[in-house]
């Protein structure tokens, strides 16, 4: 796997040609597999003989994975993403109360308010630049989901930027070991401070609710599980939506005919979000799952205890599932299989309703206000994430151009 990231799609096509399950070399010469075809990935994600707990990671159990291994946090953090069976159900039930349809819908006015304010910030940044350029990720796509998830967790606003920087480092796959260890330690320390602040002054937030559940029954949520859950919420709660909005903007700017369809009412913004999730998944390869016995996938045996990557970006363009035009961005797409970019089975993304709300609101208001928005640099020149986990560009310079009302934006 290319630890420096880049556009995953050319390599994904080559991987799919080699099979549904492909042996890969992870950073540090660790042997692993990637499942890259849609049907096989769907089955793998819901297979009864596949676990997520690191106790199933054979090389880790043998002491062969160093402390500063770039992907170690994905394996060892205590929380929903590394729990199986009753433990997973217990942790998921504690968090799910914040993501019910009713609770998410109640957030709509706040999401809309934030969106309008951030569009003002984007317009102001472009107006202050001699070339009329502003970084859409910095001024719009990042602060929207980060503000929402921090409000949900009861995290002070002044911590948001630092948490984002640390989150970027944690999902990177090419950081030196010492920097990776330092990023993890600082993130855990900040989240421990958040928990301590909410313990001292509880509020109407998820952290306070998790603390209350722990106080009611100390065995329900350990301190390590609490911090691990907060880490998961911060990272997954903003990185994926940030990439989703960014990737949708890139796709629409590169396919003006598709944008015109949506602006004319011939396709919905919800369709834009779903097609972006399929076409350019915000998470490319997610670590890890482990077969609890030797497992055969499409004629290939994955040995027990092998770390396996879920190839979401590869499965999203699998022509066997999405047709011969799977490489085409088409917001009117019908038929074919539903994408897997939000997972499948018991670990399906708990925050999917919130991510969809944020993304559809952001895109609708962005292109309603700035229908002529264009990229300020060619797609091929945009710096990519230095990771094969997150899938997007590091920056997204745009020219908002004219507002729908004709004023400079």
Retrieve residue 396's tokens. Answer: 């997204």
DSSP one-letter string for 283-307? BSEEEEEEESS-EEETTEEEPTT--
The pLDDT of residue 216 is: 63
The pLDDT of residue 217 is: 59
CA–CA dist 376, 400 (Å, integer) = 9
CA–CA dist 197, 112 (Å, integer) = 28
Q: State the first-to-last Cα distance of the chain, in angstroms, to the nearest integer.
A: 41
Residue 381's SS3 state is: helix
pTM of the model: 0.93
Q: Phi and psi at residue 153, in whole multiples of 5°? A: -90, -10
Instruction: Give the Å distances, CA to CA, from 367 to 128, 138, 204, 401, 409.
Output: 21, 17, 34, 11, 12
| H-only helix segments in 107-255 | 108-128, 136, 143-153, 160-171, 177-200, 206-216, 223-254
The pLDDT of residue 66 is: 92
Residue-wise pLDDT tens for the chain (409 aa)? 988 888 999 999 999 999 999 999 999 999 999 999 999 999 999 999 999 999 999 999 999 999 889 999 999 998 899 999 999 998 898 888 778 888 888 899 999 999 999 999 999 999 999 999 999 999 999 999 999 999 889 998 888 889 988 888 888 888 888 998 898 899 999 999 999 999 999 988 888 888 887 666 555 778 888 898 898 888 888 889 999 999 999 999 999 999 999 999 999 999 999 999 999 999 999 999 999 999 999 999 999 999 999 999 999 999 999 999 999 999 999 876 799 999 999 999 999 999 999 999 999 999 999 999 999 999 889 999 889 999 999 999 999 976 554 444 4
Pairing type for strands 300-302 and 295-297 reads antiparallel
Nearest to 230 by CA among 204, 203, 214, 210: 210
CA–CA dist 321, 338 (Å, integer) = 8
The pLDDT of residue 246 is: 98
The pLDDT of residue 172 is: 81
Pairing type for strands 374-375 and 397-399 reads antiparallel
The pLDDT of residue 218 is: 55
């Amino acid at each position: 796997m290319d630890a420096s990231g880049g556009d995953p799609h050319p390599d994904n096509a080559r991987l799919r040609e080699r099979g549904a399950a492909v042996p890969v070399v992870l950073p540090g010469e660790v042997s692993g597999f990637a499942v890259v075809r849609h049907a096989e990935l769907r089955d793998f994600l819901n297979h009864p003989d596949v676990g997520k707990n690191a106790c199933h990671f054979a090389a880790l159990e043998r002491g062969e994975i160093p402390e500063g291994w770039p992907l170690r946090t994905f394996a060892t953090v205590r929380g929903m993403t590394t729990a199986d069976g009753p433990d997973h159900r217990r942790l998921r039930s504690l968090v799910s109360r914040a993501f019910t349809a009713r609770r998410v819908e109640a957030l709509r006015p706040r999401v809309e308010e934030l969106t309008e304010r951030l569009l003002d910030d984007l317009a102001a940044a472009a107006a202050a630049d001699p070339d009329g350029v502003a970084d859409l990720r910095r001024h719009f796509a990042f602060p929207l989901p980060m503000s929402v998830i921090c409000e949900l967790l009861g995290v002070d606003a002044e911590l948001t930027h630092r948490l984002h920087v640390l989150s970027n480092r944690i999902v990177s796959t090419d950081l030196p070991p010492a920097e990776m260890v330092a990023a993890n330690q600082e993130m855990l320390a900040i989240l421990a401070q958040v928990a301590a602040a909410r313990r001292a002054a509880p509020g109407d937030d998820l952290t306070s609710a998790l603390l209350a559940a722990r106080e009611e029954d100390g065995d329900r949520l350990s301190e390590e599980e609490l911090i691990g859950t907060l880490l998961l919420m911060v990272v997954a709660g903003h990185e994926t939506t940030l990439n989703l909005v960014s990737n949708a903007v890139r796709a629409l700017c590169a396919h003006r005919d598709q944008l015109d369809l949506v602006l004319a009412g011939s396709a919905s913004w919800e369709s834009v979000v779903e097609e972006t999730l399929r076409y350019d998944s915000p998470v490319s390869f997610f670590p890890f799952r482990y077969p609890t016995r030797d497992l055969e996938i499409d004629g290939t045996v994955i040995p027990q205890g092998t770390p396996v990557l879920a190839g979401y970006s590869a499965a999203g363009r699998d022509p066997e599932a999405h047709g011969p035009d799977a490489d085409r961005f088409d917001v009117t797409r019908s038929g074919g299989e539903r994408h897997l970019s939000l997972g499948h089975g018991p670990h399906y993304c708990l925050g999917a309703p919130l991510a969809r709300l944020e993304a559809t609101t952001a895109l609708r208001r962005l292109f309603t206000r700035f229908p002529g928005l264009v990229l300020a640099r060619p797609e091929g020149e945009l710096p990519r994430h230095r990771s094969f986990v997150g899938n997007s560009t590091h920056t997204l310079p745009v020219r908002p151009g004219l507002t729908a009302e004709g004023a400079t934006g």
